[in-house]
Amino acid sequence: MALSGIQIYKLLPQTNCKDCGFPTCLAFAMKLAAKQVELSSCPHVSAEAKAQLAESSAPPIRLVTVKSKDHEVKAGNETVLFRHEKTFYNRPGVFIRIKDNQDLISIEKLVKDVDAYHVNYVGIELRLDGFAIEDTSGDAEKFLQVIKIVRSHSSLPLILISENPAIVSSGLIPLSGESPLIMGATPLNWEAMAAIVKGHPASLAASSPTIDELVNLTENIKSKGVEDIVLHPSASTYSSLLAFSTQIRRLSLKKNFKPLGYPILVDAHHVDMAAQAIAKYAGFIILDEFTPQSAYPLLVLRQNIYTDPQKPIQVQPGLYEINRPQPDSPVLVTTNFSITYFSVANEVEGSGFPAWLLVTDAEGMSVLTAWAAGKFDAERIAKAVKTQTVDKVTKKVLVLPGNVAVLSGEVEAELPGWQVKVGPREAVDIPKFLKLGL
């Protein structure tokens, strides 16, 4: 059970020394009870009190890391039910399933394709996170062979799927120095699985179709000294998965119910269920297939949900080329708020006219907001023009967004030799504007 602020206060030194940054021990205790500070901020807590406070200071959802030698996927440490309450922190890892009875040539191709796949989305590199290798053959040699093939073509983290402890043990042999996720422990095999994981830096997924059984499983596994547990709610329909996952998240966050305070693994099979799992509340997702067409929207959805709503997604400021611009092509200027950038860039691209798109650093704000906040003024625009367009642009025609027409005089004064024009207020009108000629 979580301790109240007063209970925590009784365990603190009560000297009010302020070393933690709070004026009193009571103030610190209240913050600790609300999980807004770390216990380590107080350097004077006795070892005995630390042990008692450990539960109170632990995050409601344990952070579990699945890692290879070069990459890692973290899940857990979430603090809210809804993203708009604060933010979601650790993006769910998306793993592609490989069955050990697939033919080896197709496995090699799949591994190479997934490993090579990455996309640049508004300056952010997106990629898939790893492979979930499933024992479907029941043959330890075969399982081991497939793991070795995957490892010879990719260093991405792994999930090993088997309910056979002997097969899991042999699969771990080539993964020394890595922390894979083992899926999974069931009411029938949990003891043997826990014994394997305890001697290896791996985490263990507990699988069950009911919440009561899941609770029993995690308590049993924890009693064997395994801390890094992942919950696998076995649900086959969208609604049952949603209900199961929501129950787990509510109980762990709102009731601080420790047996369910772990990340969730969703065996989504298909991309639409994976999309639901990204929104509600997966930490790890297994997909049956890989195609760039299905991976891209999924990764973009994940990126959009796992960003701080108070910090809009920004694009990298700079000079972007659209439709192969030439030195005499016009320069359109906008801010680095991603939605603004995409609205403008898509319209210019759709128009077919070559142009330079100058994206200024407006701290991720849209045009009008940035202007009102003093982040998109003549001085900043002129500075961006001078630093970004040198050696690239000769005709020197600059198009300002219609919403900041008021800046045109000042920009002209800052940029001698440039012809400053005022573009449309709405991005959708840009093609018509460009058609009129500049």
The minimum distance between CB 33 and ligand SF4, in angstroms, equals: 13
Name the residue nearer to ligand SF4 (CB basis): 50 or 99. 50
Inter-residue contact 260 to 215 (CB < 8 Å): yes
Kindly write out the interface string for residues 3-32 of this chain, putting x where it contacts ligand SF4 by CB under 6 A and - elsewhere: ---------xx-xxxxxx-x--x--x----
The minimum distance between CB 62 and ligand SF4, in angstroms, equals: 25
Please tell me the distance from the alpha carbon of residue 192 to that of residue 221, in angstroms, as a whole number.
Answer: 10
Name the residue nearer to ligand SF4 (CB basis): 25 or 94. 25
Name the residue nearer to ligand SF4 (CB basis): 4 or 15. 15
Kindly write out the interface string for residues 44-83 of this chain, putting x where it contacts ligand SF4 by CB under 6 A and - elsewhere: x---------------------------------------
Name the residue nearer to ligand SF4 (CB basis): 41 or 234. 41
The minimum distance between CB 14 and ligand SF4, in angstroms, equals: 7
Q: What is the DSSP letter of 204?
A: E
Kindly write out the interface string for residues 358-397 of this chain, putting x where it contacts ligand SF4 by CB under 6 A and - elsewhere: ----------------------------------------
From edge to edge, which strands make up the β-sheet containing 355-360? Answer: 318-322, 355-360, 331-335, 397-400, 419-422
In the 3-class helix/strand/coil scheme, how is 53-107 assigned residue by residue?
HHHHHCCCCCCEEEECCCCEEEECCCCCCCHHHCCCCCCCEEEEEEECCCCHHHH
Tell me how far apart the terminal alpha carbons of the chain are, to the nearest angstrom: 69
Name the residue nearer to ligand SF4 (CB basis): 38 or 141. 38
Name the residue nearer to ligand SF4 (CB basis): 32 or 313. 32
Interface with ligand SF4, residue 308, by CB under 6 A: no
The partner residues of 322 in beta bridges, in order of sequence, read: 355
Q: Taking CA 416 as the corner, what is the angle to CA 413 and CA 417, rounded to the nearest 5 degrees?
A: 140
What are the tokens at 248? 């787990």
Question: Which residues inside 32-51 make contact with ligand SF4, applying CB under 6 A?
Answer: 42, 44
Please tell me the distance from the alpha carbon of residue 267 to that of residue 141, in angstroms, as a whole number.
Answer: 25
- Phi first, then psi: give them for residue 249, nearest 5 degrees: -65, -40
Interface with ligand SF4, residue 85, by CB under 6 A: no
The minimum distance between CB 5 and ligand SF4, in angstroms, equals: 12
Interface residue list for ligand SF4 (CB under 6 A): 12-13, 15-20, 22, 25, 28, 42, 44
